[in-house]
Amino acid sequence: MLLTPNVNAGEVLDEFLWRNRLILISAPSASNTLFKKQSHLLNSELIDLVDRDLVIISAFADTGDYYIDGVPSGPSKKLLNKFKIPKSEFCLILVGKDGTPKLRKIGSLVNPKTLFSLIDSMPMRKYEMATKKYPSNP
């Protein structure tokens, strides 16, 4: 999905509504140890992220910017305020396709398998899994 940089955070979230689940990660800076570890954990599970329609949005207090899948996308203030994300701590929030928070974790890492398990238990995801057509193996 191509997004226009520097648009209102609310408008960006509207673009994902009913299309993608979001993983919002906030940290004091991109050099934050928990942010680096969480990013590594998530990046090692790319196939599962794509399968669950997940998009990662990162926001940093020191620069005041947010990034969508690593692409600078605008000021983070409205995004942080909308989800009441603390600026001084590492925070991860899982947002469902309906735009509501499903999980909020402050100050600790979240195992991707925990995220996937939670997502897979949701009615919308169960429907997706039941109706998704997978290519057959040769």
Strand (E) positions, 7-64? 21-27, 54-60
User: Are the C-beta atoms of 22 and 16 separated by less than 8 Å?
Assistant: yes
Q: Which CATH class is domain 9-131?
A: alpha beta
pLDDT digits (tens, 9 = 90+) for 7-55: 455 666 888 999 999 999 999 999 999 999 999 999 999 999 999 999 9
Q: What's the whole-number mean pLDDT along residues 53-65?
A: 93
Distance of CA 11 to the CA centre of its chain: 16
Sorted by where each begins, the domain ranges of the chain are 9-131
Structure tokens at 34: 């928990």
pLDDT value, residue 138: 41
Structure tokens at 87: 């600026």
Beta bridge partners of 105: 92
Residue 72 has pLDDT above 70, yes or no: yes
User: Are the C-beta atoms of 74 and 6 separated by less than 8 Å?
Assistant: yes
DSSP-based three-state secondary structure for 115:
helix
Residue 110 has pLDDT above 60, yes or no: yes
Q: Is the dihedral of CA 27, 71, 21, 130 positive or negative?
A: negative
